[in-house]
């Protein structure tokens, strides 16, 4: 027995020495892989630091454009705390890039090309931002730069015009300043043409003015026009909008940096995950080898054990190989029996563990399986694992549902943005496209879009502009008075109405096969600045989810702003047409009056000529009458003479 004990002790010592050696080797392997993994995580941290610097640069850029470009002190001193922070952050990012490139930490990754693109992106970003700053300083603000020069010129003109007290010149000056301000506010090049037209008219008017100050004013105006054009050229270089000029190039530089940093981060992260997987596999192999070695040693030592121990060894060996044999028959009540009893309990718990693993593998996390009575490290950890897996599965399911809803919401917003963008001229077609796509996207059965109408007897009505039901366009003439029925109350209160208990015969549109009362009805007001411009009514055989209602309300808000724009556009076109018609009528009346004046003038000329002729004839008649009077006088005298002669004769 002493020899047996000595042999077992020797084998146990050798086993312990072997396990110790394997653990030391395992420690060296783990240490090597962990150092490599930590180094890669440090590299990821530096990439994240570059991302942080890029975000900080973007923030300083926005702060500069929003604050410093409207700060007169900046144009006066050309100094800015924001620009100083920008330069420090950019230098820090470029130094980090230089360090990463020289350190060789990227050598094991095939990312030099992407890293070069990041370097190029930061260099181009610096260059383009410097150009942007230069152009902004040149453009100026208030009393500085081109704006200051332009203001000096126009103030000089205003001073001269004010002295002359010429109303027409003052009016032209106000028009020029208005077009200048309109351009500076809206950055629309159409105001340049309006500005040129007014200033050219002003110059032409000055040419005909013999005043000594006219040439001086004309010179100031020419300089003012040239500076204004230079200012517009600066804006074009800077970018009238974010998709043009230096602003667009800067945005492209940032996008290039973000894209390549993200790809570099992904590559390094994937490599890190592979390293961790390799470590896990290595550990698994080493542990497997260790277990195998222990089993081999125990198998060799088991030859010294009595036959009962041999049967236990065989049984334990089968357990070690993953088999779950039947329970051992227990005879007696000695220590071996206790061992058999314990092994039987272990086997039963392992069988339960097997069943538990199978259930978990099949996704049955709620199955109640008692493993080790839920006690001990293995039993409690298995139950904790089941709870965590159940929680993770539930969270993943919820995340998947939320992701699907988010994708559905974003796709819907994109769809209706396209619908609104493509329909801006015809209110009826816009209404139909909105309600058709909304009904289809929500998988409802029918819907209608009502538009506010305030032109009928000073009362507010909502006219049914478009209806869509059962995949077909429907034509119906329906008016709803403000405050009348469910639709009218929704328009009056401006709040969403959702009904699941719909009155019978509430829905008037049915399919060709008949009609059934829908399960739910939602009425959404289309509001713009507190005013209800329209109502959306949608009926469905299914109940609307809360995220669908929120989606409809979002779409209604987008529709409201676009609908307001379309209505204003239509009213503007109608007013323009009315103005053009009135202008044409006035032009025709003016032409008719001109013709009448010409005819009146011709008539007056003819009357004047006739008057002269009549005066001439009257004059002739007077002369003729005088001659006749003289002849009559002579005849009378002759007759009197003859009468006297006859009297004398008698």
**142-165 residue pLDDT tens:** 788 888 888 888 888 888 888 877
Does the pLDDT of residue 435 top 80, yes or no? yes
pLDDT tens-digit readout, 443-502 = 888 888 888 876 656 677 788 888 888 767 776 667 788 878 888 888 788 888 888 877
Mean pLDDT (the chain, rounded)? 77
pLDDT tens-digit readout, 596-626 = 788 888 888 888 887 788 888 888 887 887 8
Does the pLDDT of residue 512 top 60, yes or no? no
Lowest mean pLDDT among 10-14, 19-23, 464-468: 10-14
User: φ and ψ at 388, to 5 degrees?
Assistant: -65, -40
Does the pLDDT of residue 5 top 70, yes or no? no
Residue 373 DSSP code: G
Does the pLDDT of residue 4 top 60, yes or no? no
Does the pLDDT of residue 630 top 50, yes or no? yes
pLDDT tens-digit readout, 227-251 = 888 888 888 888 766 667 888 888 8
Residue 105 confidence class, pLDDT cut points 50, 70, 90: low
CA distances from 208 to 201, 203, 613 (A): 11, 9, 45
The per-residue pLDDT for 235 is 83
pLDDT tens-digit readout, 202-229 = 888 888 877 777 888 888 888 888 988 8
Does the pLDDT of residue 129 top 80, yes or no? yes
140 torsion bin: left (phi>0), alpha (psi -120 to 50), beta (else): left
Q: Is there a contact between 308 and 336 (Cβ–Cβ < 8 Å)?
A: yes
Q: Calculate Rg over the CA atoms of the chain.
A: 50
Highest mean pLDDT, choosing among 99-103, 174-178, 476-480:
174-178
Q: Is there a contact between 507 and 515 (Cβ–Cβ < 8 Å)?
A: yes
The per-residue pLDDT for 511 is 47
The per-residue pLDDT for 631 is 77
The per-residue pLDDT for 34 is 67
pLDDT tens-digit readout, 188-201 = 888 888 888 888 88
- What is the token pair recorded at 410? 């974003």
Give the whole-number percent of the chain exceeding pLDDT 90: 0
Nearest 5°: the CA angle 100, 106, 108 is 160
Residue 335 confidence class, pLDDT cut points 50, 70, 90: low
Q: Which residues pair with 481 in a beta bridge?
A: 461
| pLDDT, average across residues 19-46 | 72
The per-residue pLDDT for 509 is 52
Q: Is there a contact between 176 and 195 (Cβ–Cβ < 8 Å)?
A: yes
Residue 7 confidence class, pLDDT cut points 50, 70, 90: very low
The per-residue pLDDT for 340 is 66
User: φ and ψ at 467, to 5 degrees?
Assistant: -135, 145
Distance CA 520, CA 542 (A): 7
| pLDDT, average across residues 364-368 | 61
Of the two residues 236 and 573, the one the predictor is more confident about is: 236
Q: Is there a contact between 518 and 541 (Cβ–Cβ < 8 Å)?
A: yes
Lowest mean pLDDT among 51-60, 362-371, 458-467, 579-588: 362-371
The SS3 call for residue 534 is: strand
Residue 8 confidence class, pLDDT cut points 50, 70, 90: very low
Residue 398 confidence class, pLDDT cut points 50, 70, 90: confident
The per-residue pLDDT for 378 is 65
Q: Is there a contact between 149 and 229 (Cβ–Cβ < 8 Å)?
A: no
Give the whole-number percent of the chain exceeding pLDDT 70: 77
The per-residue pLDDT for 255 is 86
CATH number of the domain at 408-574, please? Answer: 3.30.450.40
The SS3 call for residue 462 is: strand
DSSP, residue by residue, 556-604: HHHHHHHHHHHHHHHHHHHHHHHHHHHHHHHHHHHHHHHHHHHHHHHHH
Residue 10 confidence class, pLDDT cut points 50, 70, 90: low
Interior/surface letters 118-151, b for 16+ CB within 10 angstroms, e for the rest: bbebbebbbebbebbbebbbebbbeebbbbbbbb
Strands 497-499 vs 472-474: parallel, antiparallel or unpaired: unpaired
Q: Identify the sign of the CA torsion 601, 606, 610, 616.
A: positive
| pLDDT, average across residues 51-75 | 84
480 by Cβ neighbours in 10 Å (0-12 / 13-18 / 19+) ranks as buried
Q: Is there a contact between 227 and 150 (Cβ–Cβ < 8 Å)?
A: yes
The per-residue pLDDT for 649 is 46
Question: For the chain, which residues make up each domain, given as ranges?
Answer: 2-138+246-272, 140-240, 408-574
The per-residue pLDDT for 443 is 84
Q: Is there a contact between 381 and 359 (Cβ–Cβ < 8 Å)?
A: no
Picking from 83, 599, 1, the residue whose alpha carbon sits closest to that of residue 75 is: 83
């Amino acid at each position: 027995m002493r020899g047996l004990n000595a042999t077992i002790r020797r084998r146990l010592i050798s086993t312990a020495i072997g396990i110790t050696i394997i653990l030391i080797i395992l420690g060296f392997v783990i240490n090597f892989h962990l150092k490599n993994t930590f180094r890669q995580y440090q590299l990821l941290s530096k990439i994240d630091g570059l991302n942080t610097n890029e975000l900080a640069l973007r923030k300083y850029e926005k702060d500069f454009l929003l604050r410093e470009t409207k700060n007169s002190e900046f144009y006066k001193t050309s100094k800015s705390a924001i620009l100083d922070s920008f330069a420090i952050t950019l230098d820090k990012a470029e130094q980090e890039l230089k360090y990463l490139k020289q350190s060789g930490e990227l050598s094991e990754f095939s990312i030099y090309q992407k890293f070069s693109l990041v370097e190029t992106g930061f260099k181009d970003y610096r260059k383009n931002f410097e150009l942007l700053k230069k152009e902004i300083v040149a453009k100026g603000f208030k009393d500085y730069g081109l704006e200051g020069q332009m203001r000096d010129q126009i103030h000089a003109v205003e001073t001269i015009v004010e002295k002359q007290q010429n109303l027409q010149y003052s009016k032209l000056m106000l028009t020029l300043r208005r077009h200048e301000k309109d351009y500076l506010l809206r950055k629309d090049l159409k105001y340049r043409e309006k500005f040129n037209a007014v200033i050219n008219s002003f110059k032409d008017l000055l040419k005909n003015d013999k005043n000594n100050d006219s040439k001086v004013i004309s010179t100031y105006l020419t300089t003012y026009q040239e500076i204004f054009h230079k200012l517009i050229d600066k804006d074009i270089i800077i970018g009238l909008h974010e998709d043009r000029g230096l602003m667009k190039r800067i945005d492209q530089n940032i996008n290039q940096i973000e894209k390549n940093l993200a790809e570099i981060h992904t590559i390094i992260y994937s490599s890190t995950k592979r390293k961790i997987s390799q470590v896990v596999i290595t550990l698994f192999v080493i542990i497997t080898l260790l277990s195998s070695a222990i089993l081999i040693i125990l198998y060799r030592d088991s030859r010294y054990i009595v036959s009962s121990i041999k049967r236990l060894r065989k049984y334990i060996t089968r357990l070690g190989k993953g088999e779950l044999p039947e329970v051992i028959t227990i005879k007696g009540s000695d220590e071996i029996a206790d061992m058999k009893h314990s092994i039987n309990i272990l086997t039963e718990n392992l069988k339960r563990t097997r069943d538990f693993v199978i259930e978990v593998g099949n996704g049955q996390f709620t199955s109640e399986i008692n493993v080790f009575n839920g006690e001990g490290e293995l039993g409690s950890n298995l139950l904790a694992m089941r709870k965590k897996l159940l929680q993770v599965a539930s969270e993943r399911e919820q995340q998947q549902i939320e992701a699907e809803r988010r994708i559905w919401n974003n796709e819907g917003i994109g769809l209706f943005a396209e619908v609104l963008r493509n329909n801006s001229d015809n209110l009826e077609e816009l209404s139909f496209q909105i309600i058709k796509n909304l009904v289809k996207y929500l998988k409802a059965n029918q819907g209608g879009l009502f538009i506010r109408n305030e032109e009928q007897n000073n009362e507010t009505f909502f006219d049914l502009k478009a209806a869509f039901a059962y995949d077909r366009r429907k034509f119906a003439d329906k008016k709803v008075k403000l405050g009348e029925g469910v639709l009218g109350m929704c328009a009056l209160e401006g709040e969403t109405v959702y009904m699941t208990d719909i009155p019978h015969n509430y829905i008037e549109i049915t399919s060709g096969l008949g009609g059934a009362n829908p399960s739910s009805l939602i009425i959404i007001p289309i509001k713009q600045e507190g005013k209800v411009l329209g109502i959306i009514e949608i009926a469905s055989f299914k109940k609307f989810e809360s995220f669908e209602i929120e989606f409809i309300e979002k779409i209604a808000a987008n529709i409201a702003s676009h609908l307001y724009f379309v209505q204003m556009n239509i009213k503007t076109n109608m007013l323009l047409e009315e103005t053009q018609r009135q202008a044409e009528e006035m032009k025709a009346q003016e032409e008719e009056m001109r013709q009448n004046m010409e005819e009146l003038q011709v008539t007056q000329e003819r009357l004047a000529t006739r008057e002269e002729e009549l005066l001439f004839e009257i004059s002739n008649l007077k002369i003729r009458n005088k001659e006749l009077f003289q002849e009559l006088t002579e005849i009378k005298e002759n007759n009197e003479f003859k009468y006297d002669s006859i009297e004398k004769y008698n």
